[in-house]
Structure 1
Amino acid sequence: MRLTLASLLFAVPALAQALSSPDGQLQVDVSINDQQQLVYTVQRAGQPVLLASRLGLVLEQGDFANGLKLVTTSPVKAHREQYTLAAGKKSRVDTLANEQSFLLANAQGRQFVLQLRAANDGLALRYTVDGPDRKTFKDELTSFAFPADARAWLQPMSVAKTGWKRTNPSYEEHYQADIAVGTKAPSHAGWVFPALFRAGANWVALTEAGMDGRFHASRLASDSTGGTYRIGLPEASEVNTGGHLLADVNGPLTTPWRVLAIGPLKTVMESTLGTDLAAPAIAFDKTKLQPGHASWSWAILKDDATVFDVQKRFIDYAADMGWNYTLVDADWDRKIGDAKMKELADYAKTKNVGLLAWYNSSGAWNDTEYSPKNALLTKAARAKEFARVRAIGIQGLKVDFFGGDGASSIAYYVDILKETAAAGLLLNFHGATLPRGWSRTYPQLMTVEAVKGFEFATFEQKDQDKVSGHAAMLPFTRNLFDPMDFTPVVFHEIPNIKRATRNGFELAQSVLFLSGIQHYAETPEGMATVPAYVKTFMRELPRAWDEVRFLGGEPGRWVAIARRAGTQWFVAGFNADDTPRELTLDLAWLGQREGQLITDGAGPREFAEGKVAAPAATLTLAPKGGFVARFR
């Protein structure tokens, strides 16, 4: 939707306005304070969620945050929408929200619009500055002021151009769990989205959506003194070579939506606001839109396994498991070559397996050497590469090592998204930013890393030791709205690492983690060590989900979630603590059904099979253990 000032039907202006959600539980109050600044507050069920918080933005061409007056207010109107997701917690989403727009003028008489949308599961806001002239972004005043006793679960943003080969930021840090609001970020880089908070009985998940390639990506600023968090900006180096950092457009400027999922934890966990506020899907060949599962050698075997014979073995492995893809990772062009890759693709096709291939996005913005590199930097180069991989028979790309969150970097992502859609190629971003609802707009975007994934737990023991608590954060944060390529599930051993999780914990990730293509880390040899009923479960896991139910959890400690595919329900949970945890799960919606239960056996590498019955189930989870249950 493109908002233009002339299209709004405005009512009589007022100093303060309130917008409520359709169920009346959520209320947003907007007003202009004595300093002529635009502020808002948020309540849910009469309880404060956000205290008085600033609104507005500043462009090089004008200040739209100070000296403001309300000109007119539009009537409240219902926003209804239905859409589908190839990779998400629901396959079909029905949205309902109340929407209102406020026309404001700054001290120079220049006008802009604040657009608000309030749904039963939260709210969103964005700004539009209309007119044909140039708009150069300078700053944004949008803030989120939490009560003093609120708590936060936040991931630090890494400092740009640090880390391996100067590849940061890639959203690959551990979360800080249950910290006081106002805690300063470890560095000037701030905190990433999604950011999770608890204010009294209500939880709040902050993110953004509606990134069309013309705006930079944001985060929360590092200084949150007094519990007030402000929108933060990318660092100067987070650009493609020679590219611009902040939004700079000719014509109307519309910001991304600032999204706040709000309510009890169940409401937030089942919310789809992160995709509700994204733009509708562009065209993509539905015959090629196939979510699913993939074998992948690099997770355990690393660089030396990117050779023809190993990749052929992993194609056989995928076929045996009923998985529909095999991913061939970095340096395939040098170690295998086009001719042998085509041979692999042709062989995979006979096994009903599709081939995916890795690409390096980068030019000069980091020091990575993996190839194919420098092949996607221009539209002409991309067209050539996409034709090349289609000729080989490759069905999708994994593109790695992006440059950050500046506007030129975001434009690069969107160019790749649009052009792979036109080329009929599936897509996976790694070393990447948070996708912010892109999987709705670009249905071929199967998954995105943007997480400290499994690979880190194979590099150093310290990350392996933290992996259970980290994994227990992700359903509440990184994987809340967007597909996540964590590359889960290992049942056997990891070279030079002592695995900290039990097998039940690993198996639960196959249901708990959402990814349009789930790239499993386990090797054929490791999979051969598990009981037949575990292999059958992994073979028969649905390739996409239709519905979600949050059953309980505490970020960073434990979680239990149910997912439906067709008429089947899959329930999974894990316990990140060092002590056993007893769970009583409400399964009333399943009636009197009985399901298959797979959980941990006596040892950390053992399984146990049993039965579990609705309408309620009591389970004891081992330390760093988990379970899955299947109700047919």
Structure 2
Amino acid sequence: MQPQKGQEAAQSGQLVYSVSFREKPVFEDSALRLELVNQPPLGAAVHIASTTPGSGVDDYRLLAGKASSVHDAYNSLIVHAMESASPGRRFDIEARVYNGAVAFRYHVPEQAALARYQLAQEDTEFRPVTDAFAWALRLPNYESAYESEYVPMALSALSNQGGVASHILNGAPMVMHLPGVAWAAVGEAYLEGNAAMYLENPTGSWMGHYLVSRISPPVSEKGNDGHGPAVDASLPHNSAWRVILLGDTPGELVESNVFTDLNPANRVTDTSWIRPGKATWDWWNGDLGADGKPAYTTENMKYYVDFAAESGFPYMMLDAGWSGKDILKMRGNVDVPELVRYAAKKNVKVWIWLYSKYVAAQMQEAFPLYEKWGVAGVKIDFVLRNDQEGIQWYYDVAKLAAEHHLMVDFHGATQPWGIERTYPNVLNYEAVLGLEQNKAGRRDGPVDRATFPFTRMLSGPMDYTPGGFNNVTEEEFVARDLSPMVTGTRAQQLALYVVLTEPLAMVSDAPSAYANQPEFQFLKDVPTTWDATRVLNGTPGEFVTIARQAGREWYLGSLTNWTARDLHVPLSFLGTGSYTAEIYEDGGDAEQRPKHVTIRKQKVSAGETLTLHLAGGGGCAIRFIPGS
């Protein structure tokens, strides 16, 4: 990092940074600047007073996710910047460089020249050296559930739509490909005390191809009205970490643990009650009962508990309808305490759905009550905000839930930023265009499923809710609420349980959909949290193959968009000795009969290469059992 040259001999220049990867420039000089309320910009006219180099190692364990043990070394540098002219304000940039990642944040210390940290806007720039090809999550405003497509386009397209100057709000993280240079992604980590970052190409020009941070403004009763500071805090204050992932392949970005590296250590002393796992779920299929008819009743929910018990799943997810505005009382036809008691006899625990605004109003009374009932966790929906107060609410919920032994699944939520390291009772976030879209239209499909691992999944776990077994061709598909259809093959639905990071994984379809289906065995066997993750191949929107380790076993998931493929996958990730590969693959006619799955076993070892035959919209799921 260095002051921009040509401004008073660099004594009062714009502070910038640049990034190279494998000796190739990736990001050219990009401004580091804070817009403070009723203040001149901080960073636009400064000099570097001193620097402090250092190094460290992030060494910790994760209860859930793509790795159980993390050991990431880094070099660090703190740049102490000061204004040359009055009022002589000071701030620092704390930077870390990992293998395959760069992270930095602003630190504003206590000082006489600044009474309080009141951020109007953060103007951090990200300037790729070329017009990178990006996968952009275009969002309508600052209040959304991050449920949209990642659209492939050049960065310049985000500033000039149809020849007209355009300013498009994009969610983070954003993945980019600089051909001949690198794959990169821009995101953020550790948001406590701050508001979330969005990305925008501010140029309005067809030649502009860089991004600038946009911080979520405060929410009022009228929405994100922009009144008041985006962040209002006492000094000293740290911003969130700005994260840049780098790799030769997009899969290297997926394997990174930097987002959790940059978050504080676990604050939950006793974690013995936090257990990831799979859950049966009533909502997606339309509350269908054993008779094939929908019923939101205690007796029908017991049917889903029975199914969980028979399948060896630890959880049943009870979705919306059991409560109203008062989440301390039950309404409707489901008796939650009775359902929890019934489930306990079957060695199953129950999660319950909640509306976020009612949680905000009543969680101090509700969470102790749910603990008394014996509820395992809460799925909190329609959060739809990530301003400073909203981000703090995530932390408040996670902390209070942990105090009452409740796990958390955030829905209608912002993208993850690593809070699951600090509060490991946070298992999932939604923030993804999931399988629920099949109930209303065509927005879910194999192209998005091949995109999300390289985009949305970079920053943390998701709740996509796979497991649809009513698999149909594109021509056969009809959106419907009861017993929804899904495009793509059944083998692809199996593969999603490995490809996607989902510590709490829904088994979304009705119990009857899985009856007498031999491939359901894979859903019984597959874990939901992992010791190691290896991305073996893939390109966003095209295809992906991921292998994950759980103890001595390995699992593999591979899927493709609508293009059929033969993928040659080296098995070098396996340990020594032989393995039995239990292979669930597309049947020979799966493009016409998407439900058709072929199941076979094959002896394999680490020195071999396995050829996967994927139908269009298809997939493959494999369990590798050692020494058998």
Normalised to the residue count of structure 2, the TM-score between the two structures is 0.87
CA separation in 2, counterparts of 1:201 and 1:610?
41
1:62 to partner: Cα distance: 4.9
Q: Are 1:180 and 2:154 counterparts?
A: yes
Q: Secondary structure at the match of 1:299?
A: coil
Residue type at the aligned position of 2:216: P
CA separation in 1, counterparts of 2:305 and 2:94?
50
1:235 to partner: Cα distance: 4.8
- Counterpart in 2 of 1:46? 23
- Counterpart in 1 of 2:474? none
- Counterpart in 2 of 1:7? none
Q: Are 1:276 and 2:271 counterparts?
A: no
- Counterpart in 2 of 1:6? none
2:296–2:334 CA contact under 8 A, matched in 1: no
Cα deviation digits, residues 84-127 of structure 1 (max 9, x gap): 22221101111100001010112331111011100111110001
- Counterpart in 1 of 2:74? 97
- Counterpart in 1 of 2:10? none
1:216–1:245 CA contact under 8 A, matched in 2: no
**Structure-to-structure mapping, 1:568-579, within 5 angstroms:** 568-577=553-562, 579=563
CA separation in 2, counterparts of 1:484 and 1:383?
26
Residue type at the aligned position of 1:589: F
Q: Are 1:563 and 2:540 counterparts?
A: no
- Counterpart in 1 of 2:271? 286
CA separation in 2, counterparts of 1:566 and 1:244?
51
1:306 to partner: Cα distance: 3.4
Q: Secondary structure at the match of 1:394?
A: coil
CA separation in 2, counterparts of 1:495 and 1:203?
36
1:511–1:571 CA contact under 8 A, matched in 2: yes
Residue type at the aligned position of 1:478: R
- Counterpart in 2 of 1:165? none
- Counterpart in 2 of 1:144? 126
CA separation in 1, counterparts of 2:2 and 2:621?
46
Percent identity for Structure 1 against Structure 2: 30
1:37–1:66 CA contact under 8 A, matched in 2: yes
Residue type at the aligned position of 2:610: A
Residue type at the aligned position of 1:173: S
1:307–1:332 CA contact under 8 A, matched in 2: no
Residue 185 of structure 2, aligned match among 192, 205, 208 = 205
Residue 47 of structure 2, aligned match among 59, 69, 74 = 69
Residue 585 of structure 2, aligned match among 590, 599, 612 = 599
- Counterpart in 2 of 1:20? none
1:305 to partner: Cα distance: 4.3
**Structure-to-structure mapping, 1:190-201, within 5 angstroms:** 190-199=169-178, 200-201=180-181
**Structure-to-structure mapping, 1:510-529, within 5 angstroms:** 510-529=497-516
1:402–1:431 CA contact under 8 A, matched in 2: yes
Residue 259 of structure 1, aligned match among 239, 243, 248 = 243
- Counterpart in 2 of 1:8? none
- Counterpart in 2 of 1:480? 458
Q: 1:302 to 1:189 in 2, by over 3 A?
A: farther
2:279–2:317 CA contact under 8 A, matched in 1: yes
2:59–2:71 CA contact under 8 A, matched in 1: yes
- Counterpart in 2 of 1:346? 341
Residue 521 of structure 2, aligned match among 536, 539, 542 = 536
2:120–2:229 CA contact under 8 A, matched in 1: no
Quick check: 188-197 or 240-249, which moved more? 240-249
2:316–2:349 CA contact under 8 A, matched in 1: yes
- Counterpart in 2 of 1:492? 470
- Counterpart in 2 of 1:170? 145
Cα deviation digits, residues 125-163 of structure 1 (max 9, x gap): 001111173210012221111122421111112225xxx
Q: Are 1:325 and 2:315 counterparts?
A: yes
Q: Are 1:448 and 2:420 counterparts?
A: no
Residue 233 of structure 1, aligned match among 215, 218, 236 = 215
Q: Are 1:627 and 2:620 counterparts?
A: yes
Q: Are 1:88 and 2:94 counterparts?
A: no
1:501–1:604 CA contact under 8 A, matched in 2: yes
Q: Are 1:431 and 2:412 counterparts?
A: yes
Q: Are 1:116 and 2:92 counterparts?
A: no
- Counterpart in 1 of 2:108? 129
Query: 5+ unaligned residues in a row in structure 1: which ranges?
Result: 1-28, 161-167, 363-373
Cα deviation digits, residues 247-305 of structure 1 (max 9, x gap): 10122121000001111123212111111111211114322110111011101116964
Residue 532 of structure 2, aligned match among 533, 547, 556 = 547
1:343 to partner: Cα distance: 0.9
**Structure-to-structure mapping, 1:372-451, within 5 angstroms:** 374-377=358-361, 381-451=362-432
2:468–2:486 CA contact under 8 A, matched in 1: no
1:236 to partner: Cα distance: 5.4
CA separation in 2, counterparts of 1:252 and 1:217?
19
- Counterpart in 1 of 2:567? 583
CA separation in 2, counterparts of 1:323 and 1:231?
42
- Counterpart in 1 of 2:139? 157
1:492 to partner: Cα distance: 2.2
- Counterpart in 1 of 2:302? 312
Normalised to the residue count of structure 1, the TM-score between the two structures is 0.87
CA separation in 2, counterparts of 1:239 and 1:276?
36
Cα deviation digits, residues 60-87 of structure 1 (max 9, x gap): 245312111110111x211112112222
1:337 to partner: Cα distance: 6.3
Query: 5+ unaligned residues in a row in structure 2: which ranges?
Result: 8-12, 289-293, 325-329, 472-477
Residue 601 of structure 2, aligned match among 604, 607, 611 = 611
CA separation in 2, counterparts of 1:145 and 1:515?
33
1:550 to partner: Cα distance: 0.8
1:338–1:392 CA contact under 8 A, matched in 2: no
Over the aligned positions, Cα root-mean-square deviation in angstroms equals: 2.2
1:240 to partner: Cα distance: 9.6
1:227 to partner: Cα distance: 1.4
